Each structure stands twice: as C-alpha cells, then as structure tokens.
C-alpha cells in the first residue's frame, strides 16, 4: 500500500465563540491519563481478521476480483461514530450492516480493514455496549476496539477517591465508575435518599430508593464530579451539582462564601445535540453543560470552568490512536501505525472538528468523512467542513476503499482538495 506522507493538512483557522459551546476547553491532564496501557486493553485469545499476504504488492486492493482471497491491510484503518452513523434510535441504519460486512472482506478487493468505534455516548460498561452493538450489527465487537465518552475517565480513578457520578439509567453509571476503580462512588440518588428535600420536585421511585445509599452528609467530601451520561432529570441533577460546587472544598453541608472552593466537574462529552429516532436532533450533554454554567454564573456571579472529555477533545483522539494501534497488534499482528485513518461521523461540531484538529497534530493522516444520516442533514452548511461528504456509512466505506485503491494503483498520493465542498450550500 502507498504511504500518505505529503498529504495536505487541513487548516481550520480561528474558532468562533459559538464553537466553544460545542467543544469546550481541551482537558489538560498528563498524557498518561489518556493513554490506555496495554494491560487495560483486552487481548484476544485468537487472532481474528488476519490472513497475512506475502507482500503488499499482491494485495487484492490493486485489482478488483469477483472472488478474491481475503487479506488484512496494514496501511489504513477506519474509525466510526455510532449514533447517526451506524445506529439511530436503537436500530441499525439500513446500510450499516452491509458496511460492516464490506470492511470485513465482502468487497471486490478481498481486503479486511481493522477498525474501532469512537462514540461520545456512554452510560454503560464498554462490555455491555459491545454486546449491544454486536447484536445490532451482526458481528463480534470487542471492548479492545471500543471507546465511549467516559472511557478515558478510568485513569482519573488514580487521582480521586470519593466522587459524585451523574447521569444514565439506574445504577449503571455507578457500576461503570466502580469498574474503573473509583473507591467511593456517590450518586444524586444517595443524596436525595439521605435528605429528600434536596430536590423538592423529584421523588425517588421505589427501585431508586432501594438502590441508593444513606450518607453521613456532615462527613462526606466530594473530590470531583463526573457527568458520565446524559441526565434523566436536569433540574434535580443540576441542583445537586451546584450544591457540591458551592461547598467548601467539597464537604457536603458546607457553603463557600467565595464560590471558588468546590470540586472540579468533568463531562464525558459536550455534544449539544445528537441523533435519535426523532425527526430532529435532541438535546445532549453539551446542553446540560451550557445550562449548568449559565445557572452557576447567575447565582454566584462567577464563571464555571468545566473540563470535557470525548470528541472533539484532542486527548480523546490521542487515546483512540493508542487503542487502535494496540487493537491492530492484538487482532492482526500489525505492529505499526496506519498511514491513514478514515473517521466517519455525523456531527460537524464534534466528529469533524475533532478529526480535523487532531489531524493537524499527528504524523499519520486522519481523514474526516461526514454522513447525512444523523445530526448533519442534506442542505446544511457545516461550520466545520469535512474532507468528504457522503450519503451513508456504506458510501463512506466504499469511498475509503476506492481512494486507497487509486493511491496504490497509481503509486502516488491522489491529488485532492483538503475539504469536500460539493455538498455545501450558501446560507
């Protein structure tokens, strides 16, 4: 396969204030907090997807065939967002299953391509998400190729002991946090059960009451706040987060006079909207973040500096690069980085912005592809232009294969514009 040295880099220029609502500040944590060590990534008992060819020159990517032998390319890889790209409202997008079969060898070139999933969604363990996705897409998805919004937070367990974890259904986010190694995980339900007038408009269900734990509020110190998944009760969750933020050094039942002594608050992503089965995009965690910051400022007169993981944060893409390298090594015996990673997403403000910005910082080529099946709709003008716009994920996969085929067939880098403008329209 041809290398991609010399491929032009995308230049974004300055970001406007509205863009900051979606992206937020990059997380300034030492690199080890983003980099999954090999011990954290499950190794496979069997080498899957890998039938190594004798040389790259004989790879079927050079010559389409009716029934070619299957080989695994070591030169490029794929990364997928999930909601709006592969799934919508819990159901596979029609072209998604076919796209997965295509990259697993059912294509004219007989090539299998290593791939990972990089989603801002969360609220479940990575194992549970992989089981769901395996069933929905009719293939085996391993936790070693899966990153959700809160996955990089697992390294924060080394830093914080008692934490407040917000969002998700039932006790699932507590289970996730405890699985990451956090020693003492408190939920809003615990605080409401201990003092029910904390949230005057929310009453715990019988199940929530049974699962929640009584606290000694006078002797509980919240060291950090983590929003792992979308809130099911904005009013109640914001009230409890605000109470913690306005404490003296995180001690519950205290109140600061200067409002700068509270614990840090982390969001697993900052997507303001996301794609569901509804005709129009729905509010996401980024909207909760914007609301929380506005309410905090209205009450205290001070700005709230939240910290974000997930896309478009550069640290999340660094984490994904490390995971992809480990996955290629464990599953395919490929011990080098791919020349090109095609990232397929549906949200310009996170998927495309993050891919393009990360591409400016890395040696290999992260190539952004935008699909029209999610947040971005045909006719919109994306504020962060992708390098290619297509209708569906299957079109995106076929484009990646064809682009690699052209590069190999010609023995050179294909000349192209940095951004695809064919689908953009004027306001």
Q: pLDDT tens digits, residue range 118-152?
A: 998 888 899 999 999 999 999 999 999 999 989 88
Residue 19 domain flag: no
Domain shared by 161 and 76, yes or no = no
Q: What was the pLDDT predicted at 407?
A: 87
Higher pLDDT: 6 or 407? It is 407
Domain shared by 167 and 132, yes or no = no
Domain shared by 298 and 156, yes or no = yes
- The answer, yes or no, to whether residue 263 has pLDDT greater than 80, is yes
Domain shared by 335 and 304, yes or no = no
Residue 86's domain spans which residues? 30-146+320-410
Residues near 290 by beta carbon (within 8 Å), at least 6 away in sequence: 21, 272
- The answer, yes or no, to whether residue 101 has pLDDT greater than 50, is yes
d(CA 245, CA 299): 12
Q: What was the pLDDT predicted at 90?
A: 87
Residue 63 domain flag: yes
Q: What was the pLDDT predicted at 412?
A: 52
What torsion do the CA atoms of 30, 33, 38, 44 make, to the nearest 10 degrees? Answer: -150
Domain shared by 51 and 119, yes or no = yes
Q: What was the pLDDT predicted at 409?
A: 74
- Please name which of 264, 197, 143, 290 lies closest in space to residue 132, comparing C-alpha atoms: 143
Whose tokens are 């914080």? That residue is 160
- The answer, yes or no, to whether residue 173 has pLDDT greater than 60, is yes
Residue 288 domain flag: yes
Q: Residues 219-248: pLDDT tens digits?
A: 999 999 999 999 999 999 999 999 999 999
Residue 101 domain flag: yes
Domain shared by 156 and 296, yes or no = yes
Res. 411 pLDDT band, cuts 50 70 90: low
Q: Residues 292-308: pLDDT tens digits?
A: 999 999 999 999 999 98
Neighbour count for residue 234 (Cβ, 10 Å): 14
How close are the terminal C-alpha atoms of the chain, in Å?
41
Domain shared by 327 and 386, yes or no = yes
d(CA 227, CA 267): 5
Higher pLDDT: 406 or 46? It is 406
Q: What was the pLDDT predicted at 420?
A: 57
- Pick the most confident of 24-38, 50-64, 65-79: 65-79
Domain shared by 136 and 158, yes or no = no
Domain shared by 367 and 241, yes or no = no
- Please name which of 406, 397, 401, 384 lies closest in space to residue 15, comparing C-alpha atoms: 384
Q: What was the pLDDT predicted at 281?
A: 86
Q: How many domains does the chain have?
A: 2
410 and 1 in contact (C-beta within 8 Å)? Answer: no
Residue 86 domain flag: yes
Q: What was the pLDDT predicted at 187?
A: 97
- The answer, yes or no, to whether residue 85 has pLDDT greater than 90, is yes
CATH of the domain at 80: 3.40.50.1000
Residue 426 domain flag: no
The mean pLDDT of the chain is 83
d(CA 329, CA 325): 6
Q: What was the pLDDT predicted at 4?
A: 37
Higher pLDDT: 399 or 427? It is 399
Higher pLDDT: 380 or 30? It is 380
Residue 88 domain flag: yes
Over residues 402-410, the mean pLDDT reads: 86
d(CA 364, CA 15): 24
In Å, how far from its chain's centre is CA 347?
12
Residue 182 domain flag: yes
245 and 187 in contact (C-beta within 8 Å)? Answer: no
Peptide bond into 361 cis (omega under 30): no
347 and 374 in contact (C-beta within 8 Å)? Answer: yes
Res. 30 pLDDT band, cuts 50 70 90: very low
In Å, how far from its chain's centre is CA 209?
31
Q: Which pair of structure tokens corresponds to residue 318?
A: 């660094």
Domain shared by 35 and 53, yes or no = yes
Q: What angle do CA 64, 69, 71 make, to 5 degrees?
A: 95
Domain shared by 303 and 156, yes or no = yes
Domain shared by 303 and 328, yes or no = no
pTM, entire model:
0.75
């Amino acid at each position: 396969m041809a290398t991609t040295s010399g491929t032009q880099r995308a230049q974004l220029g300055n970001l406007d204030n509205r863009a900051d609502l979606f992206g937020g500040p990059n997380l300034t944590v030492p690199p080890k907090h983003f980099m999954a060590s090999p011990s954290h990534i499950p190794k496979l008992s069997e080498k899957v997807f890998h039938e190594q060819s004798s040389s790259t020159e004989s790879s079927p990517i050079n010559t389409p065939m009716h029934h070619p032998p299957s080989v695994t390319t070591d030169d490029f890889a794929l990364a997928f967002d999930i909601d709006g790209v592969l799934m919508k409202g819990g159901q596979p997008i029609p072209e998604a299953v076919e796209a997965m079969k295509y990259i697993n060898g059912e294509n004219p070139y007989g090539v299998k391509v290593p791939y990972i999933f990089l989603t801002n969604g969360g609220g479940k363990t990575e194992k549970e998400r992989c089981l769901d996705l395996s069933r929905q897409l009719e293939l085996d998805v391993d936790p070693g190729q899966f990153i959700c919004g809160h996955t990089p937070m697992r390294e924060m367990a080394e830093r914080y002991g008692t934490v407040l974890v917000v969002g998700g259904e039932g006790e699932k986010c507590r289970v996730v946090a405890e699985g990451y190694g956090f020693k003492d995980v408190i939920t809003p339900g615990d605080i409401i059960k201990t003092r029910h007038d904390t949230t005057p408009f929310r009453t715990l269900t019988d199940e929530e009451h049974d699962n929640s734990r009584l606290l000694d509020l006078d002797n509980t110190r919240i060291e950090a706040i983590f929003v792992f998944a979308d809130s099911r009760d904005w009013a109640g969750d914001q009230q409890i987060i605000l109470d913690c933020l306005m404490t003296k050094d995180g001690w519950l039942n205290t109140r600061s006079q200067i409002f700068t002594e509270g614990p840090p608050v982390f969001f697993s992503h900052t997507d303001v909207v996301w794609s569901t089965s509804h005709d129009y995009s729905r509010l996401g965690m980024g909207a909760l973040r914007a609301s929380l910051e506005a309410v905090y400022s209205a009450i205290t007169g001070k700005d709230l500096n939240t910290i974000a993981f997930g896309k478009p944060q550069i640290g999340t893409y660094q984490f994904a690069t490390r995971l992809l390298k480990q996955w290629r090594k464990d599953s395919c015996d490929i011990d080098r980085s791919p020349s090109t990673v095609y990232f397929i997403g549906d949200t310009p403000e996170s998927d495309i912005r993050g891919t393009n910005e990360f591409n400016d910082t890395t040696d290999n080529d992260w190539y952004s592809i935008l699909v029209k099946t999610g947040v971005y709709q045909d006719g919109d003008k994306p504020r962060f232009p992708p390098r290619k716009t297509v209708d569906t994920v299957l079109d995106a996969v076929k484009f990646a294969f064809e682009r690699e085929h052209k590069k190999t067939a010609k023995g050179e880098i294909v000349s192209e514009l940095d951004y695809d403008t064919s689908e953009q329209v004027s306001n």
